[in-house]
Structure 1
């Protein structure tokens, strides 16, 4: 069950929520395949101005994407390729909606979620 949390500058997020949700979902489906569409969960979080910093200075163009994926995905022979494809697709989705000025400050973190520690509605995820 791929789940993604996106932290974006609040002023860039406002009004772009539907386009971002669509673009990020399509990016994940583009890498994993159509089977993943109904399993993709996305949370958008607006970050007020002055709360992103790089090099000790406030910036308004950073985007942080944290995606939880099953730990087994990192054990596949093509894990490096899938990871690179996810990073590129998610970064491309964000820049397509918010503009190229966010590309340099966009980070993607893929976090392994062991199946025995992944739950939906209080029960182990299928």
Structure 2
């Protein structure tokens, strides 16, 4: 028998991602740190983890699973990334939202306060 767990909503993912960044650390340049002295994840990885997915799940343009729970979580996280990228001014013709957010996360001017602000619904 398969046990289905509830798919977190966008608000839950936002709160969870912000909490992960505050407690686990925020980084630039990759999805997650493998350096024990500098732990952390980027914005996109935090969203992925908060949705109950692997840190790099949103790096793909298509989900790597046919599991209904995984697919529902992946779609919800993708929708949130689309929403956040649109809030930040991503032009519709540009790269996919998750990639655009990764680049935005890594820009020199982007700070943890900016990242937390967009997760908390405040444009950076």
Instruction: Say yes or no: TM over 0.5.
Output: no
TM-score by length of 1: 0.31
Question: Which structure would you say has the larger RCO, counting Cα contacts within 8 Å and 6 or more residues apart?
Answer: 1
Higher Cα Rg, which structure: 1
